[in-house]
Structure 1
Amino acid sequence: MLDSGGFTELSLHGQWTVPPAQYAAAVRRYADEIGELERAAIQDWMCEPQILAKTGQSIYDHQSRTVASYLNLLWLDDELPWMPVLQGWTLDDYLRCIDMYAAMGIDLTVEPLVGLGSVCRRQSTREAVRIVEALYACGLRLHGFGFKTTGLREVHHLLYSSDSLAWSFNARHHAPLPGCTHKTCSNCPKYALAWRNRLLASLTDWHQDTTPQPHIAA
């Protein structure tokens, strides 16, 4: 799964500096030369207050640009596995974003995966949990961007997949695993898998009785 790096782009530059055609060409190269690409996130526009302050635009503007990115990338290369992303801040914002996709002929309920943006820094709050619950009830297969352990313990049973760099940050401050020869395990698949296994083992069993086990990407 490929993340587009949108938060870094907008927080540093207040806009996307990578044109859609360049991004699509890069993703095509990754898919062809590396392979096994399941989903590629679009060039979405986050809606955190600090990002809005950087861009000087509204939540609606960011949502419109996010939907437009999905349509543009589909037009540029419709054989790549683009993942639409929902953006917003309140629950009503996210529901409006669903409607905006629908107005462009995109039914998110039939998409293999739908990214959920602008929740990673408030993922364990009651508001974020309510948003995930409502979107799950809409029939969406959600991917949670940047979900840490506290957030996953609240909503893992409502997510199809999630990603996190928490394992990498943790590895930077600990000695390498036995048998590893690198300076730190911050880019180590062995460390990432061990972290993933510990995380899954920490999730409550009762949530997992009636729903599929989540796929937690490193």
Structure 2
Amino acid sequence: MNGPATSPLFWTGVPAPAWVFGTRRTEPYAIDWPAFPSFTSIGQVRNLRPALTDAAMDSGGFTLVSKYGEWPVTPAQYVTFLRRYTAESGRLIWASPQDWMCEPEIITGGRRGPEVYAGTGLSVAEHQRLTVENYLTLRTLAPELPIIPVVQGWEVHEYERCVELYDAHGVDLRTEPLVGVGSVCRRADTPTGAAIFATLARAGLRMHGFGVHTRAILRILRALAEIGRIDALISTDSMAWSALARRRNLRLPGCQHGVTGDGNCANCPVWAGLWRGDLLTDIDRWYRDLTTGPVQLAMGGAA
């Protein structure tokens, strides 16, 4: 069974620009792991500083398209920010394009729990067309920037159609060092989620899974191992550590957050680092064991 020299790289989602730059007014930060900041927050910073860690940039598409039903940021504006970040902060490994998610609520709008979606009123096929067109536009505007292509869809065959759409526009995703897989974060740990990654791996893609963490990574690695393409999952990202702390109202001993000091660790770099360390241990073990025997999930804090 083929596999890369190392297990998939994990980009940890960070809630604020200070995590990338190292300090803020009230607390010091000293993360030394690959960070996944979002344009929705870091794009508002007037004075960028040199980055203290490698970063992959999330374009914030889910947040923005959910809220507005369209992209409120033009490709030219996005490119201007990425160029400024590259010049002033550096250590930008890659950036997401302004892709269009295909979750049903993104398209039709409405409410899902406490979350409200504006809805685009478009079809999955139209979202795919807009995604490919945006990538082509960004590549034309800024060929020097490390912006990766992203495949979108909802059903498995729609992801195959998206690959074909890139092909039709002269982009061979099989030759790209990294291709993002979108609209999977809430269903990566399902048979459909695993099938999407396996199908794209068979097509020859090297993938980043947006929002893929813990059990979902194991499920996807298993599916890829079964077809001899465990090397196809290059990286994933998530802020699940924050959601877990918020849901459980978790606060580590000695941590003081918020005005009164008794807030939870949903924005705590100490907790994020501990959660990340446990996850990496699990990923490495799963990766090794997939060729030798059954894999067990041992991460007690999995979200």
Same fold (TM over 0.5): yes
Q: Residue in 2 aligned with 1:201?
A: 281
- Counterpart contact for 1:177–1:191, Cα < 8 Å: no
Q: CA deviation at 1:208?
A: 6.7
Q: How many residues align?
A: 208
User: Are 1:128 and 2:211 matched, yes or no?
Assistant: no
Among candidates 206, 209, 222, match of residue 144 of structure 1: 209
Look up the SS of the partner of 2:281 in the other structure: helix
Q: CA deviation at 1:90?
A: 1.1
Distance change >3 Å, CA 133–CA 177, structure 1 → 2: farther
Look up the SS of the partner of 1:160 in the other structure: strand
Q: Residue in 2 aligned with 1:6?
A: 61
1: CA distance, partners of 2:150 / 2:139: 13
2: CA distance, partners of 1:5 / 1:177: 33
- Counterpart contact for 1:176–1:182, Cα < 8 Å: no
Output aligned runs, 1:75-154, within 5 Å.
75-154=140-219
Q: CA deviation at 1:194?
A: 2.1
Percentage identity across paired residues of the two chains = 47
User: Are 1:39 and 2:94 matched, yes or no?
Assistant: yes
- Counterpart contact for 1:129–1:155, Cα < 8 Å: yes
Q: Residue in 2 aligned with 1:215?
A: none
User: Are 1:68 and 2:144 matched, yes or no?
Assistant: no
3-12 vs 192-201, which moves further? 192-201
- Counterpart contact for 1:115–1:142, Cα < 8 Å: yes
- Counterpart contact for 2:102–2:152, Cα < 8 Å: yes
- Counterpart contact for 2:213–2:236, Cα < 8 Å: no
Greater per-residue helix proportion: 1
Q: Residue in 2 aligned with 1:213?
A: none
1: CA distance, partners of 2:186 / 2:245: 21
2: CA distance, partners of 1:177 / 1:30: 36
Q: CA deviation at 1:79?
A: 0.5
- Counterpart contact for 1:66–1:85, Cα < 8 Å: yes
Look up the SS of the partner of 2:144 in the other structure: coil
Q: Residue in 2 aligned with 1:160?
A: 234
Q: Which has the higher contact order (CA 8 A, sep 6+)?
A: 2
Q: For 1:17, give the aligned amino acid.
A: P
Unaligned runs of 5+ in 2: 1-55, 109-118, 222-229, 259-263, 293-303
1: CA distance, partners of 2:167 / 2:77: 27
Q: CA deviation at 1:96?
A: 0.7
Unaligned runs of 5+ in 1: 210-218
- TM-score, normalized by length of structure 2? 0.64
Output aligned runs, 1:14-53, within 5 Å.
14-53=69-108
Deviations 1:29-86, CA, capped at 9 Å, x for gaps: 1111111101100000001111111111011100000000101111111100001100
- Counterpart contact for 2:181–2:210, Cα < 8 Å: yes
